[in-house]
Amino acid sequence: MKLSAEAQVELDQARSQSHTTLRPTVAALEAQMFLATPVLDHGFVRLVDYMGDDAAVVQAARVSYGKGTRKRLEDRGLIRYLMRHAHTSPFEMCELKLHIKMPIFVARQWIRHRTANVNEVSARYSILDREFYLPRPEDLAVQSTDNKQGRGSSLSEEEAAAVLHLLKRDAEQAHDTYEGLMGRFDLARELARINLGLNTYTQWYWKIDLHNLLHFLRLRLHPHAQYEIRVYGDAIADLVKLWTPLSWEAFEDYRLGGTFLSRQGIDLVRKALRGQSVGRADSGLSKREWKELMEVLELDPDTEIVGPGPAAT
């Protein structure tokens, strides 16, 4: 990822200025202001602005006049309580504004998260850069056999080279056509763009509150999410860790690292802890539910009985 000389000058200018404010700021996040973290081959996540911090969550929860914070340990306990019991509105008091550049197929998935404010670059007004996403050879893989939305084993070196050749050829040809339509025929930009591929890069400003951001991250950091959006999730997660470390810790413990168990799932765990054996057939769980629960419990997904002496993997 390389910023244009013009963009770099603007970014440097923004970072050379500072403002005094009565608002609370987070030193670790201030250090990241306006910087672009590279993602994929031409993409980035860039912090534009933020409002609030862990103390703002506590302040809102206590509906306090001042900072609302007490001892760090008490604040941490309160934030963990809020996260544990899905008392989510205090987390909505913090906001993050990002400038993101990503391939259009990533933006298509991203825009499904409706609880954010978005302003995307207009390809009716601006000419899109000659930038398209080409995966790294090691990220090219065959269709997964057990997950219809996923990928399986990697392509061989020769296959990867052949696939990349085709992807690059088509993207370059489409961009040549795009430029030709505007140059030779003076075709309107809103029409010239319609042949461009989903791997063309787009950009937007994206503003979201912490509650909805954590929801986004829970879905898009999940191993089932597509790699190309997950890496954006990783870059944003790194900012959240700096911004609201206590909220992030609670989120990691209760949401990212935690799981929901069904009534039948809890029943199974209780029985197993009491020393009873539970078989898949009498668990009330479907084969798929059983497999997923065994994965959560880190037991062999093909095991048929759980109980004394479970077959731990």
CA atoms within 13 A of residue 280's CA, in its CB half-sphere: 15
Shortest CB 313 distance to ligand FAD, Å: 25
- Across the strands, what pairs with 299? 312
Torsion from C-alpha of 254, 118, 112, 252, nearest 10 degrees:
-10
Helix (H, G, I), strand (E, B), or coil: what is residue 75? helix
The one-letter amino acid at 94: C
Residue nearest to ligand FAD (CB): 114
Among 89-97, 212-220, 258-266, 270-278, the segment contacting ligand FAD (CB under 6 A): 212-220
Closer to ligand FAD by Cβ: residue 84 or 224: 224
Query: Does 212 participate in binding ligand FAD (rule CB under 6 A)?
Result: yes
Alpha-helical (H) ranges within the chain are: 5-16, 27-30, 54-62, 72-84, 104-110, 157-184, 189-192, 210-220, 227-243, 245-251, 263-273, 287-296
Q: x/- contact string, 219-258, with ligand FAD (CB under 6 A)? A: x----xx---------------------------------
Contact string (CB under 6 A) for ligand FAD, positions 29-68, x = contact: ----------------------------------------
**Closest to ligand FAD by CB, 42 or 215:** 215
287 binds ligand FAD (CB under 6 A): no
> Of the candidates 215, 231, 290, 306, which one interacts with ligand FAD according to CB under 6 A?
215
Q: Could you tell me which stretch among 133-141, 211-219, 270-278, 300-308 binds ligand FAD (CB under 6 A)? A: 211-219
* Cβ(56)–Cβ(69) below 8 Å: no
Under rule CB under 6 A, how many of the chain's residues touch ligand FAD?
10
Please state, in angstroms and rounded to a whole number, the distance separating the CA atoms of residues 48 and 239. Answer: 12
Task: Tell me the closest approach of the beta carbon of residue 108 to ligand FAD, in angstroms.
Answer: 10
Q: Which candidate in 184, 220, 255, 280 is catalytic?
A: 220
Residue 174's contacts (CB-CB under 8 Å, 6 or more residues apart) are: 195, 196, 197, 200
Q: Which is nearer to ligand FAD, 130 or 291 (CB)?
A: 291
**Smallest separation (angstroms) from ligand FAD to the CB of 79:** 21
CB of 138 to ligand FAD, least distance (A): 22
- The reply to whether 189 sits near ligand FAD by the rule CB under 6 A is no
State yes or no: is 80 an active-site residue: no
Contact mark string toward ligand FAD, 81..120, x via CB under 6 A? -------------------------------xxxx-----
How is residue 147 written in tokens? 């997950």
**Rounded distance between C-alpha atoms, residue 83 and residue 129, angstroms:** 42
Range 246-250 contact pairs with CB under 8 angstroms and sequence separation of 24 or more: 246/54, 246/57, 246/72, 246/75, 246/76, 246/79, 246/80, 247/54, 247/57, 247/79, 247/83, 247/91, 247/94, 247/210, 247/214, 249/76, 249/80, 250/76, 250/79, 250/80, 250/82, 250/83, 250/84
Residues 117-156 contacting ligand FAD, CB under 6 A: 149
- Specify the amino acid at residue 313: T
Q: Which residues are catalytic?
A: 220
Binding residues for ligand FAD (CB under 6 A): 112-115, 149, 212, 215, 219, 224-225
